Amino acid sequence: MFPQRQFSDVEIHRNRFLIAMTVTLAAMMELLDTSIVNVAISQIMGNLGATLEEVTWVSTGYIVANVIVLPISGWLSNRFGRRNYFMGSIALFIVSSFFCGNASTLGSLVFWRIVQGLGGGGLIATAQSTIFEIFSPREIGTGMAIFGMGIMMGPTLGPTVGGFITYHASWPWIFYINIPIGIGALMLANNLLPDSRFHEKISKVDWLGIALLATSIGTLQVMLERGERMQWFDSVEIQLYAATSLFTFVTFIWHERRIDHPVVNLAILRDRQFATGLVFSFLLGMSLFATVFYLPLYLQTLLGFNAWETGKVILPGAIANGLTMALLGKFIEKNENLDLRLLVIIGISIFGLSMWQHGHFTTQSGDHDFFWPLILRGVGLGFLFVPLNALTMAHIQPREVPNATGIYTLVRQLGGSVGIAAAAFLYVHWSAEFKADLSLHVVEGTAGTQQGLFWMQNWLYGNGTNSAELPETLLRLLDAKLTAQASMIAFEQIFMLFSVTLACAIPLLVFMPLAKGIRRGGGDH
C-alpha cells in the first residue's frame, strides 16, 4: 500500500487542475500503448523470430487484459481505495513496461503485455471518476475537457511517437519511454491525489462474478481481434469464443442480480439517460476507432507513407481536437442554460462533413488534401466528447461514479473493437468486389481502358522493359493498379459508412432530457 495522505477540501479545490492533469497523464500513457506497438510489429517479428500470426498477440493480449479490468475498476477502487488502486496501477504499468522492453522471447513479451494491460485498464475509468468528484458540477466541463484531450490524443499520437522511436532507435524504447512518464505521474499522484470521499469498504469478494465477467469480455475481445484472420464463423475457434462469451455473459447477469455485493452494480442501467449514453458511446467508439485505425492504413498501403510521415499528417487534427475541447469546456461552464444536445448534433455534423471529405481521397492525394478534413474531424469529435460525457453522467450519484465510468469506458472500447472488426470484414469484401467490377471494364476494353493500357505500355518501354518481358510485366502492373483502385474505393466506403453510423445515434438524444448545463445527481460540492 502507498502512504496515505489527508487533503482538505480547500487543498483539493486549489489543486483540482493539477490533479486533473496528473490523472489524465496516466490515462494518456495507457492509451498511447494501445497503438504505439503497431508500427514496431515488423521489428519485433525480426528480432524475436515470430510470425505475423504470433506477434499479433502482443497487441491482443494487452487489449484483452485492458477490457477485463475496465468494468471492475470501480469495485477495485472501493476494495483498495482509489488512491492505492490508481498508484498501484501506475506502478504495475511501469514495471511491466520495463520487462516488455527487456523481453527476449515472444512468450515473455506477450506475458508482460498482459500484465501491462491489467495495470493500465483501471487508469482511464479511475481518472474519469476522480475528475467527476474533484470538480463542481459547474466546472465539470473544463475537467472533462482536460481529460478528453488525453483520451483523444493518446491513440492518435501512438503511431507518431512509435514511428519516431522505431525510426531513430529500436522497438524496446516504445516501452522504456513509459518509465519516466510513469514515474512522473506516480510522483504527482503521491503529492496530489486524494482518496474518494465516497469510498465504500468491501468485505466480501465476488470471485465468481469476476471470473464470469473476465471470461465473457476476454473471449469476446479475442473473437473480435482474430475473427477476420480466422474467417469468422466458418472457424470452429471463433464459434467456440462466441458461445463461451455469450454463455458466461448471461450467467454473469443472472449471478450479479442474485447477490448482495456484486462486482458490477447493474442496477445503474435502470437510469434511462445513462443507458442511452452507453448506446451512444458504443456507436461513437465504432466510428472513432474504425476511422482512426483505417486512415493510417490508407496512408501507408496506398500512398507509401512511413509511420513518422503518417503521424505528422494526423497531428494537426489531434491538436485541433484538444483545443476544441479546452474552449468548449470553458464555453459550457459560462453558459449554464445551453442545451448540450445541440453541441452533440453540431459535433456529428462536423464529423460527417469530415468523413465526406475523407470519402473523396484518392491514390494521388497529398498532404494538403488531408489538412482540413483532419482538422474538421478533430473539431467534430471535440464537440462530441465533453457534452456526451456530461449527458451520460447527469443522474449518477457520486458514490456510483467509479462503477459508471468503468462501464462507460468499457462500452466505448468494445464499440471500437466491433468497429475495427466490422471495417476489416467490409474492407476485404469490398476490395474483392470492386476489383472484380473494375476487371470487367478492363476486359470490355473501353476507350479509357485502351488509353490507360497504351500509357502503361509506353511507360514500361521508357523504363527499360524489353518486348519479351512486356506482357507479363504489363499484367502485374495492371493488377497492382486495379488492387490499389479497389482498395481506395473500399476505404472511401468505410469512411462514409461510419459517418452514417454515428448520425444514426442522433435520435437517441430524445431519451436524454436532462440536457441543460452540467449537472449531476450528486449535486454541487
Read off the pLDDT of residues 175-228 as tens digits, 9 standing for 90 and up. Answer: 898 899 999 999 999 888 888 777 666 667 778 888 888 888 888 888 887 887
Residues 138 and 42 in one domain: yes
Q: Is residue 478's pLDDT more than 60?
A: yes
Read off the pLDDT of residues 78-137 as tens digits, 9 standing for 90 and up. Answer: 888 888 899 999 999 999 999 998 988 888 998 999 999 899 888 888 888 888 888 887
Residues 380 and 499 in one domain: yes
Residues 369 and 500 in one domain: yes
Reported as a pLDDT band with limits 50, 70 and 90, residue 3 is: low
Residues 410 and 301 in one domain: yes
**Residue 53, domain member (yes or no):** yes
Among the listed ranges 23-32, 150-159, 317-326, which one has the minimum average pLDDT value?
Answer: 150-159
* Grid cell listed for 273: 439517460
Which of these three, 201, 231, 248, is where a domain ends?
A: 201
Report the alpha-carbon distance of residue 405 to residue 71 in Å, rounded.
8
Residues 185 and 43 in one domain: yes
**Residue 414, domain member (yes or no):** yes
**Residue 374, domain member (yes or no):** yes
Q: Is residue 162's pLDDT more than 80?
A: no
Among the listed ranges 49-63, 243-257, 448-462, which one has the minimum average pLDDT value?
Answer: 448-462
Q: Which of 51-65, 103-117, 407-421 has the highest mean pLDDT?
A: 103-117
pLDDT at 97: 93
Which of these three, 159, 185, 201, is where a domain ends?
A: 201
**Residue 2, domain member (yes or no):** no
pLDDT at 259: 82
Residues 66 and 197 in one domain: yes
CA angle 75, 81, 84 (to 5 degrees): 115
How far separated are the first and last CA of the chain, in Å rounded? 29
Question: Total domain count for the chain?
Answer: 4
* Residue range of the domain that includes 238: 205-260
Give the residue, 397 or 373, on which the prediction is more confident.
Answer: 373
Residues 413 and 348 in one domain: yes
Three-class secondary structure assignment of 105-129: CHHHHHHHHHHHHHHHHHHHHHHHH
**Residue 424, domain member (yes or no):** no
How long a stretch of residues is the chain? 525
pLDDT at 225: 78
Read off the pLDDT of residues 435-475 as tens digits, 9 standing for 90 and up. Answer: 888 777 665 555 555 556 556 666 565 566 656 665 666 66
pLDDT at 240: 94
Stated as kind and residue range, the H or E segment containing 298 is helix 272-301
Reported as a pLDDT band with limits 50, 70 and 90, residue 523 is: very low
**Residue 426, domain member (yes or no):** no
Residues 44 and 68 in one domain: yes
Q: Is the dihedral of CA 379, 151, 394, 210 positive or negative?
A: positive
Inter-residue contact 106 to 133 (CB < 8 Å): no
Which of these three, 201, 221, 239, is where a domain ends?
A: 201
pLDDT at 521: 45
Residue burial 456-473, b: 16+ Cβ < 10 Å; e: rest:
ebeebeeeebeeeeeeeb
**Residue 182, domain member (yes or no):** yes
**Residue 2: DSSP 8-state:** P
One-letter amino acid for residue 110 of the chain: V
What is the CATH number for 346? 1.20.1250.20
Residues 310 and 249 in one domain: no
Residues 71 and 172 in one domain: yes
% of the chain beyond a pLDDT of 70: 87
pLDDT at 247: 94
Read off the pLDDT of residues 274-317 as tens digits, 9 standing for 90 and up. Answer: 999 999 989 988 888 888 778 877 887 888 887 677 778 888 88
pLDDT at 188: 92
Nearest CA to 393 among 217, 522, 262, 256? 522
Residues 400 and 438 in one domain: no
Residues 513 and 388 in one domain: yes
**Residue 181, domain member (yes or no):** yes
A 10 A CB-CB count for 181 gives 18
Report the alpha-carbon distance of residue 137 to residue 115 in Å, rounded.
36
Q: At what angle do helices 57-69 and 16-35 cross, to 10 degrees?
A: 140
